[in-house]
C-alpha cells in the first residue's frame, strides 16, 4: 500500500511546475500544482482516491464533484466508497435537463463537496451555496491538495469544514525528505 509521503512525493513529481502562474483567485504564484497531470494518470488517481476514501465523513450520502477538476476525483472516489456522485456545474446549462447538479439527487441529503486543489476556497463557497439552495446538507468539503492560502478560513466562515488529503507543506516536505 502507498504511504502518505509516497503519494505526496508522486503527486509532486507529476504535477509540480515552476514559473509564473495566475490562479483562479487572481493571485500569482511561482509554483503550480497542475492537477490535470495527476488526474490524468489512472493509476495515480486511483491511489489518490483510495487514500481519500477514509477521509469521507460518516453519514455522507452523496459525493459532489465540482466542475471541472473535481469530476475525475469524485468519480474515482465513488468507486472506492460506493457512494453515488453528483457532478456540479459552475452554472446550470441552458439546454437538456437544465440542471446545476447532474447525476445523484442532492436535495435532502448529506453531501460532501469534492474538489481537487483549494487555494482561496472561492469555488467551493459558490458551489456550496448553490447546492444548499437545491436542498443539500453540506457541512464539509474534501480536496486532494490544500494550497494553504486561505481556503480553510474562507470555508469555515461559511460553516464548511475543509478536509484535505495533502497540503502544499506535505508536498514540499515529501520532496525535501528524499535523499
For residue 18, what is the domain's CATH number? Answer: 3.40.50.2020
Cα 123–chain centre separation: 11
Write the pLDDT tens digit of every residue in 33-85.
788 999 999 999 999 999 999 999 999 999 999 999 999 999 999 999 999 99
| Domains identified in the chain, total number | 1
15 is in an annotated binding site: no
90 is in an annotated binding site: yes
- How are beta strands 16-22 and 28-33 bridged, if at all? antiparallel
> What sign does the CA torsion over 36, 47, 140, 82 have?
positive
- The HSE-up count of residue 18 (CA atoms within 13 Å, CB side) is 2
120 is in an annotated binding site: yes
Averaged confidence pLDDT in the chain: 93
147 is in an annotated binding site: yes
Is the previous residue joined to 68 through a cis bond, with omega within 30 degrees of 0?
yes
89 is in an annotated binding site: yes
116 is in an annotated binding site: yes
pLDDT(179) > 60: no
Grid coordinates representing 106? 442532492
110 is in an annotated binding site: no
User: Is-contact 24 32, C-beta < 8 A?
Assistant: no
- R_g of the chain, CA atoms, integer Å: 16
Range of the domain at 153: 4-176
Record the pTM. Answer: 0.92
35 is in an annotated binding site: no
93 is in an annotated binding site: yes
pLDDT of 26: 82
25 is in an annotated binding site: no
Grid coordinates representing 104? 445523484
Amino acid at each position: 500500500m502507498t504511504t502518505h509521503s509516497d503519494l505526496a512525493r508522486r503527486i509532486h513529481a507529476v504535477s509540480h511546475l515552476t514559473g509564473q502562474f495566475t490562479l483562479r483567485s487572481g493571485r500569482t504564484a511561482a509554483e503550480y500544482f497542475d492537477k490535470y497531470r495527476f488526474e490524468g494518470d489512472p493509476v495515480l488517481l486511483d491511489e489518490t482516491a483510495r487514500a481519500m476514501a477514509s477521509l469521507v465523513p460518516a453519514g455522507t450520502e452523496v459525493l459532489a464533484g465540482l466542475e471541472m477538476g473535481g469530476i475525475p476525483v469524485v468519480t474515482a472516489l465513488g468507486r472506492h466508497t460506493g457512494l453515488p456522485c453528483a457532478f456540479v456545474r459552475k452554472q446550470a446549462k441552458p439546454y437538456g435537463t437544465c440542471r446545476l447538479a447532474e447525476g445523484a439527487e442532492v436535495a435532502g441529503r448529506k453531501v460532501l463537496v469534492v474538489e481537487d486543489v483549494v487555494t482561496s476556497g472561492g469555488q467551493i463557497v459558490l458551489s456550496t451555496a448553490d447546492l444548499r439552495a437545491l436542498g443539500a446538507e453540506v457541512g464539509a468539503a474534501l480536496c486532494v491538495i490544500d494550497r494553504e492560502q486561505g481556503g480553510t478560513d474562507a470555508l469555515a466562515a461559511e460553516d464548511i469544514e475543509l478536509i484535505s488529503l495533502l497540503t502544499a507543506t506535505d508536498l514540499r516536505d515529501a520532496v525535501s525528505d528524499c535523499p
